[in-house]
Structure 1
Amino acid sequence: MPAGIQVFNADGSLGYDPQGRLFRVLARVQYSTVDSSAAFSRQPEDTDLTAVARGWYAPDFTIDIASGTISWRHVNVPLKDRYPGTVEIWAR
């Protein structure tokens, strides 16, 4: 039976299941090789957000809906493997 689009965590557990709904890209943010954050705009109804990284060895992302910011930390990425990239913020 088809399951649709699902995103799994590194440990194999289900991290996100949109249950067949499509996403809308709210923002594209360039992330750097150092821990930081950036602001983005959203509508009040945009409460179910997902960070989708485009790049090698992506950092860990945290989205703060109340303040409209996305933060990234490279805690699991060795210094030699840190590269800048793009993260998209998707809403469903």
Structure 2
Amino acid sequence: MRFGLAMESVDRAGMSMALYPALRELKASGTVDRLLDNVVSASAEGYSFPTNLDRDQPIGGLAPPSQAELVRQALAENWPADRLQQTLTEQDHRRRTS
């Protein structure tokens, strides 16, 4: 269970984008999904908050999708890297408070 966020600032979207091409290659080569998921969990933000719920509404659940959920979806659906980059940029914009 997660009770708070670290005070350090880490560019998790940048890490996710740097790792994504390698993750796609590993998935295509048959790497076990559990191992890929471990990398996503260690690099992408798995917590949906803080966010601006006026712009980032939780559709189909109690919270909007996390960055990690978007990376997992991109891997599952074999998105090109530019689509993931655009999706993460749009998510970042929605999460801003002003």
Greater relative contact order: 1 or 2 (C-alpha under 8 angstroms, separation 6 or more)?
1
Q: TM-score range by the shorter chain?
A: under 0.3
TM-score (norm 2): 0.26
More helix by share: 2
More strand by share: 1
TM-score (norm 1): 0.27
